[in-house]
């Protein structure tokens, strides 16, 4: 077991906010170690560069700030959406899917810097501590993990502000009403809100809370049509314009937010055991899920599609609980990706008042055959007499069961 004195250098997942600014100082004092900061730009906004100035002011020598938006969407978000993953019927896993990428890069930096430990600012009540640390241990089994919230005696925001004042840590105090009271997490896939008045699951969130989308009531009265092009299960173009993965999600967020798409208010079951109420905005992801299921509907074999649907809740739970690097998730991903080879084509959607409505789908690999299902003359494509034997054979066990009961 590594002791405090054995830690000479630690890599900290650093946002520049109150929590991680305090953790930076706390690590230096408690472990008497050098701290390397890592800030991942996953599309959360302009606070990324603010982190650099704060790290410099904190005396940090090695500062990593990296634009990881393309890798995030290409290697994490898109594979997850090939699975149509959704946790407990509603949550599109926006926070969950970002953690393994951050953990991976932190271990790479730790190896490059010769660091002894990695540290994060997740609390001991939530899922993120699990997700980060599962990632750390999966990629570097002997790494020392420092989770300050499980070690220090700071238990409230007041405690943290007092600590900051005592140690000369600058705290940005915005004018009353200008700073969100919610605990928020944002990346290209979503933005989440927890805490404050949301801790009462009966309280409706105020309209002022939402950042990315208008309310459905305030959305345009005229619907907007868009066309998405798929190649091997991933969107490669919007309205005929080729785009990178991050560009796709950025544009779908803009379109979805404009039309009030992607807001949810849920109570979810955390991995650590408690129930938690959270609100999420996932405009682009909501459109992606609807469109992907539409293109699969004409390109996937029935049983392959149904098996995917049966496996999806397990896959989603793996992502939610932090098992991205586990063998079972990687095994399932191989199977899912195999099904996507012929998931190619176009999906036509109507965006209107909080809804993403599929109005068309087409593919050169489509399994939909109009001759087989037409109500008009199918010119011999399907012999309806064949259905009689099919029904009798499949009803045989039902008939035998009924006879046995008499």
- The 10 Å CB-count burial string (b at 16+, else e) for 99-110 is bbbbbbbbbebb
15 in a labelled binding site: yes
**Residue scoring higher pLDDT (175 or 44):** 44
Strands 191-194 and 275-281 turn out to be antiparallel
Catalytic residue IDs: 19, 99, 128, 183
Written as one string, the DSSP assignment of 62-81 is -EEEEE-HHHHIIIIIHHHH
Average pLDDT rounded to a whole number, residues 166-191: 77
* 183-299+342-362 CATH fold: 3.90.1260
Mean predicted confidence (pLDDT) in 260-282: 97
For 142-164, how does the pLDDT look when each residue is reduced to its tens digit (9 = 90+)?
999 999 999 999 988 788 889 98
Q: What is the pTM of this model?
A: 0.94
What pLDDT was estimated at residue 239?
98
175 pLDDT band, cuts 50/70/90, is very low
pLDDT at residue 3 tops 70: no
Q: Is 20 annotated to bind ligand?
A: yes
Q: Residue 244 — very low, low, confident or very high, per pLDDT cuts 50/70/90? A: very high
CATH, range 9-68+95-167:
3.40.50.620
14 is in an annotated binding site: yes
401 is in an annotated binding site: no
- According to DSSP, the residues that pair with 12 across neighbouring strands are 37, 119
At residue 382, the pLDDT reads 85
Query: Can you read off the two tokens belonging to residue 143?
Result: 């790494």
| Count of CA atoms in the C-beta half-sphere (13 A) of 26 | 22
- The answer to whether 327 is annotated as binding is no
Grouping H, G, I as helix, E, B as strand and the rest as coil, residue 141 is coil
Mean pLDDT of the chain: 94
For residue 172, pLDDT over 90 is answered with: no
Q: Domain locations in the chain? A: 9-68+95-167, 183-299+342-362, 370-405
């Amino acid at each position: 077991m590594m002791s405090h004195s054995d830690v000479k250098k630690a890599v900290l997942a650093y946002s520049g906010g109150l929590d991680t600014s305090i953790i930076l100082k706390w690590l230096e004092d408690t472990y008497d170690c050098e701290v390397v900061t890592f800030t991942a730009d996953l599309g959360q906004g302009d606070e990324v560069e603010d982190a650099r100035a704060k790290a410099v002011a904190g005396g940090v020598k090695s500062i990593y700030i990296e634009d990881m938006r393309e890798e995030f969407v290409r290697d994490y978000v898109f594979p997850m959406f090939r699975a149509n993953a959704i946790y407990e019927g509603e949550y599109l896993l926006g926070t969950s899917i970002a953690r393994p990428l951050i953990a991976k890069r932190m271990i790479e930096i730790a190896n490059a810097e010769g660091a002894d430990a990695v540290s994060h600012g997740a609390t001991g009540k939530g899922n993120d501590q699990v997700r980060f640390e599962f990632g750390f241990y999966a990629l570097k089994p002997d790494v020392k993990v420092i989770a300050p919230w499980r070690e220090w005696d700071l238990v409230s925001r007041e405690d943290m502000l007092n600590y900051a004042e005592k140690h000369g840590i600058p705290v940005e105090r915005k004018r009353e009403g200008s700073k969100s009271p919610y605990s928020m997490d944002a990346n290209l896939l979503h933005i989440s809100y927890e805490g404050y008045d949301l801790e009462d699951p009966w309280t409706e969130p105020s309209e002022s809370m939402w950042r990315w989308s208008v309310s459905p009531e305030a959305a345009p009265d005229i619907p907007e049509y868009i066309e998405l092009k798929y190649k091997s299960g991933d969107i490669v173009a919007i309205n005929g314009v080729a785009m990178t993965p991050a560009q796709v999600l950025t544009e779908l967020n803009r379109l979805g937010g404009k039309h009030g798409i992607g807001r949810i208010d849920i109570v979810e079951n955390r991995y650590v055991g408690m129930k938690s109420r959270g609100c999420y905005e996932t405009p682009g992801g909501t459109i992606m899920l609807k469109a992907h299921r539409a293109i699969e509907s004409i390109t996937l074999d029935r049983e392959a599609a149904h098996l995917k649907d049966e496996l999806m809740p397990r896959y989603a739970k793996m992502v939610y609980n932090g098992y991205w690097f586990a063998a079972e998730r990687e095994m399932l991903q191989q199977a899912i990706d195999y099904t996507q080879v012929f998931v190619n084509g176009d999906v036509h959607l109507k965006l209107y008042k909080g809804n993403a409505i599929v109005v068309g789908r087409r593919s050169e690999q489509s399994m939909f055959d109009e001759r087989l299902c037409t109500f008009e003359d199918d010119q011999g494509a399907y012999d309806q007499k064949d259905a009689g034997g099919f029904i009798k054979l499949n009803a045989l066990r039902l008939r035998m069961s009924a006879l046995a009961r008499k």
